[in-house]
Chain A
Amino acid sequence: MEAEHQVPAAPGAASAPRVQPAAATHGGDPLEGHISKTVDQSLSDLRIHAVQMGGLVIDQVGSAVQALTERDVRLAELVLSREPVVNDYETRLDRDSLTFIALQQPVANDLRAARAIARVGLELERVGDESKKIARFAARAGALGQNDPVVAVARYLRHMATLSSAMLRGAVRALDESDPALARDVLAMDREIDQEFATALRQLMSFVMQDHQFLGATIDTVFALKGLERIGDHAKNVAEQVLYMVEGEAPRKKASAGGA
């Protein structure tokens, strides 16, 4: 992922004309075609903001890991400075979905969409949190020498960042296009990231057995790897919300041992 030392700008500036969700371009979109244009507009706005938020957190993940593996303190600070923006998106999605439910009394797929999008906001906000933690570590890790745990597992960090970003991208795109097939692809990707995490942990263990000097940094690196693994889980949850929104049922989670 090519992150740059600048804030990503909007493809269209804020003054650009708003793209109306024209029925012509979205023939079968389940979120459109109401008699009430207010409902169309509200749902479209909710989804656009969720997709924008998704774009931002995908960049946060890539930038945080790049900052860590390339010892780029400035990039780490950029990630940290954008964290409040991620939170603002979550607050806004939460508020707007609540207002939409209160004022428009949506039912069926509209109600599911409002609820799903609010929960997507929550998941993406947690992705933002994980990125923030990695960026904090990156900002601290700037002084470390060459032979440290981050270097030992840099390859895994990068690969897991690529995987989790791809999952997030797929999940956000599934939301954007109301596409259950894309969402299912995301679910299938989670296994690979888990395997990668297990491999990276083994690698770190052998590293720390040889050299105790960087025990603190090793623990931080474990957290960074775990964060990326969690990001994969959050992406999976986003995809499940899309399935719930489109199809009315999310894939079943495993029941607890006690049963319910």
Chain B
Amino acid sequence: MSTILDTKTPTHPRQAATMQGEIRAQGSDTPSLSIVMEDRKTTRANPAKAAAEKLNFWYGSNQALKNINLVIPEHQVTALIGPSGCGKSTFLRCFNRMHDLQADTKYEGAITLRPDNVNLVGPETDPIEVRMRIGMVFQKPNPFPKSVFENVAYGLRLRGINNKTELAERVEKALRGAAIWDEVKDRLNDSALALSGGQMQRVCISRALATEPEILLFDEPTSALDPIATAKIEELITELRQRVTVLIVTHNMQQAARVSDFTAFMYLGELVEVDATSKIFTNPAKKATEDYITGRYG
């Protein structure tokens, strides 16, 4: 076997990775080549975790969502982008029935949650049950005025977990999952309100993670944070997809580009285009999408 860079050249630790793209000869007489290189970033969709089907939604007589059909792939990050008032937050809130708290709203169509195919917006479905399975993180960090520990333990206690050891274990796991354990492990009994904005937001993510939701919804999770805290949350979101399916609404298109696998562009209550994020941000199919992401309107 001849290594391409001869023995005098790179003595670099990464040399082992050099030519990990496999070049192999096919046949012996006339060598032809094929090169097999691994994909840098997956753009293939995993199986669906949830699917919106012909979803319509009204605030009174105002139709905010118009016939939305969108598949949310499991263990991937799907970003919703679009100008203010396009319905992206409204759509996100349908997933955990936030609109039920408001009078005079109406759902039509379905959001089906796999694997049991429960219709999240069906009148027969209990919103409390839905919220057990679908966590949410809001724009402004909103920890309860309690200790860090109690913030995260709250949902667990609601579910009847009172065993101290189990609570402690699950709180630690959730805080680790949100990449904040090291920063708060010595201050678990301090008020969560004493933390920095970025830390508070990660405690809120821990709180959402503690009950092990299947989908985590993020509504503008970093718009109240500074760039470094934002970078940490973004890194956390890209890691979280290994454990949970993520749906994120963001005003910040660059954030959608950085963190998501799929991007959906919404405008005036309609879903205009959805595709792999690398496709949307290099060569979107629709002119409306291109105009929006390039800052020509919106």
Q: Which residues from chain A sit less than 8 Å from chain B, CB to CB?
A: 1-4, 6-14, 16, 18-19, 21-22, 25-26, 35-38, 41-42, 44-45, 48-49, 51-52, 54-56, 58-59, 77-78, 81-82, 84-85, 88-89, 92, 96, 98-99, 102-105, 169, 172-173, 176-177
- The CA of A52 and the CA of B21, in the complex, are separated in Å by 8
- Does B30 belong to the interface (CB within 8 Å)? yes
Chain A residues whose CB sits within 8 angstroms of the CB of B282 once the complex forms: 98-99, 102
Chain B residues whose CB sits within 8 angstroms of the CB of A2 once the complex forms: 2, 6
A31, chain B: closest CB distance, angstroms: 11
Question: Is B18 a contact partner of A103 (Cβ separation < 8 A)?
Answer: no
Q: How many residues of B contact A (CB 8 A)?
A: 46
22 A–B pairs (Cβ distance < 8 Å), ordered by A = A4-B2, A8-B19, A10-B19, A11-B3, A11-B18, A12-B20, A19-B14, A19-B16, A19-B17, A36-B231, A37-B239, A38-B238, A51-B10, A52-B18, A52-B20, A82-B33, A105-B257, A105-B258, A169-B5, A169-B9, A172-B9, A176-B10
Question: Is A99 a contact partner of B278 (Cβ separation < 8 A)?
Answer: yes
B204, chain A: closest CB distance, angstroms: 19
B35 closest partner in A (C-beta): A85
Kindly name the residue among B2, B5, B238, B278 whose own CB sees the greatest number of chain A CB atoms within 10 A.
B5
Q: Which of B36-44, B63-71, B152-160 contacts A (4 or more CB under 8 A)?
A: B36-44
- Does B194 belong to the interface (CB within 8 Å)? no
- The CA of A159 and the CA of B281, in the complex, are separated in Å by 48
B198, chain A: closest CB distance, angstroms: 11
Question: Is B18 a contact partner of A55 (Cβ separation < 8 A)?
Answer: yes
Question: Is B13 a contact partner of A45 (Cβ separation < 8 A)?
Answer: no
Question: Is A7 a contact partner of B33 (Cβ separation < 8 A)?
Answer: yes
Question: Is A88 a contact partner of B258 (Cβ separation < 8 A)?
Answer: no
Question: Is B30 a contact partner of A55 (Cβ separation < 8 A)?
Answer: no
**What mask results when residues 115 to 158 of chain B are scored 1 for a CB within 8 Å of chain A, else 0?**
00000000000000000000000000000000000000000000
Chain B residues whose CB sits within 8 angstroms of the CB of A3 once the complex forms: 2
Question: Is B40 a contact partner of A105 (Cβ separation < 8 A)?
Answer: no
Question: Is A81 a contact partner of B31 (Cβ separation < 8 A)?
Answer: yes
**What mask results when residues 147 to 179 of chain B are scored 1 for a CB within 8 Å of chain A, else 0?**
000000000000000000000000000000000
- Does B254 belong to the interface (CB within 8 Å)? yes
Question: Is A12 a contact partner of B17 (Cβ separation < 8 A)?
Answer: yes
A70, chain B: closest CB distance, angstroms: 17
Question: Is B35 a contact partner of A36 (Cβ separation < 8 A)?
Answer: no
B15 closest partner in A (C-beta): A11
- The CA of A59 and the CA of B257, in the complex, are separated in Å by 38
CB-contact partner of A10 in B20, B32, B33, B234, under 8 A: B20
Q: Which residues from chain B sit less than 8 Å from chain A, CB to CB?
A: 1-6, 9-10, 12-25, 30-33, 35-38, 40-41, 228, 231-232, 234-235, 238-239, 254, 257-258, 277-278, 281-282
A55 closest partner in B (C-beta): B4
Question: Is B257 a contact partner of A104 (Cβ separation < 8 A)?
Answer: yes
A227, chain B: closest CB distance, angstroms: 20
A73, chain B: closest CB distance, angstroms: 12
Question: Is B15 a contact partner of A14 (Cβ separation < 8 A)?
Answer: no
Question: Is A1 a contact partner of B6 (Cβ separation < 8 A)?
Answer: yes
The answer to whether residues A85 and B23 also contact, given A11-B18, A48-B17 and a CB cut-off of 8 A, is yes
Kindly name the residue among B21, B254, B257 whose own CB sees the greatest number of chain A CB atoms within 10 A.
B21
B28 closest partner in A (C-beta): A6
The answer to whether residues A92 and B37 also contact, given A2-B2, A35-B235, A36-B238 and a CB cut-off of 8 A, is yes
A27, chain B: closest CB distance, angstroms: 11
Supply 13 further A-B pairs (C-beta < 8 A) apart from A9-B24, A58-B4. Answer: A2-B2, A4-B2, A9-B2, A12-B16, A14-B38, A16-B16, A25-B13, A35-B231, A56-B23, A84-B33, A96-B40, A99-B41, A173-B10
CB-contact partner of A102 in B23, B30, B228, B257, under 8 A: B257
CB-contact partner of A14 in B21, B31, B277, under 8 A: B21
